[in-house]
Amino acid sequence: MTDQTQDLTLDEIRALLAPILPRHAAFDGWRPEAVAMAAAEKGIDADVAALAFDNRAMGMIEAWFASIDTRMLEALPPEKLAAMSIRKKISALIETRLALLAPDREALRRAQAILAMPTNAVRAAKLGWHAADIMWRAAGDTATDLNHYSKRATLGSIYAATLLTFVNDESEDHADSRAFVGRRIEGIMRFEKMKARFKGVGDGEHLSLSRFIGRLRYPAV
């Protein structure tokens, strides 16, 4: 290890190596060899680097995706998102993620195969939920009711489907993937508007089961 890296914590080593891991995983797979290659590139002791990732594929993939979260937020800080509509915020956040993933599509393909394994189902679901949560929070969502969960579940499923399209997208500038995202987000917006109308948000009246039943019994005159 160099003088600049010998005092790094395991978390700091993980953050340092995570963005370059997929470059090696594309050829060596999400295996210890990829960690060793990334560590050599940054002057980190291979054994220490192995500890940082627990020598497991999922640890490596989780660290990579965390680095995507960080770089996405750096590319789209609050002041840059502030003037956008919700639709444009979500689109920009997903498209930024795709741009960050684009140089490492083969590594992403290999990661998807690992995430699809039944033994990794729970951790894969957590990764999808976390990505959706990061994006909704960046977009300014503050919902704490059932909407908090429904929004993240919906966006998480859209993002996962987008990635499956993205790894095989050979269109120029990944136009097909961006169009896919646009269609799915439009669907989310229509659904949210429908819920708002159902709840009477437009006129300040929220859905009340007791009020609804009361009106059935005693219709307004």
Does the domain formed by 85-221 have CATH 3.30.70?
no
Show the tokens assigned to 30.
Answer: 């999400």
Alpha-carbon distances, residue 142 vs 84, 101, 149 (angstroms): 16, 27, 11
* pTM, rounded to two decimals: 0.82
pLDDT attached to residue 186: 83
Q: Is the predicted pLDDT of residue 2 greater than 60, yes or no?
A: no
Distance of alpha carbon 3 from alpha carbon 1, whole angstroms? 7
Task: Map tokens 């083969």 to a residue.
Answer: 106
What region does 116 belong to: left with phi over 0, alpha with psi -120 to 50, or beta? alpha
Q: What percentage of the chain reaches a pLDDT higher than 70?
A: 83
Q: What is the DSSP string of 23-78?
A: HHHHHH-SSHHHHHHHHHHHT--HHHHHHHTTT-HHHHHHHHHHHHHHHHHHHS-H
Residues 6+ apart with CB under 8 A from 32: 50, 55
pLDDT attached to residue 210: 45
- For residue range 19-40, list pLDDT tens digits in order: 999 999 999 899 999 999 999 9
Distance of alpha carbon 14 from alpha carbon 56, whole angstroms? 13
DSSP 174: G
pLDDT attached to residue 143: 84
Determine the straight-line distance between the first and last CA of the chain, rounded to whole angstroms.
Answer: 82
Compute, in degrees rounded to 10, the torsion defined by CA atoms 144, 97, 111, 31: -110
pLDDT band of 147, cuts 50, 70, 90: confident
Q: Is the predicted pLDDT of residue 3 greater than 60, yes or no?
A: no
Q: Is the predicted pLDDT of residue 217 greater than 70, yes or no?
A: no
Q: Give the chain's mean pLDDT.
A: 87
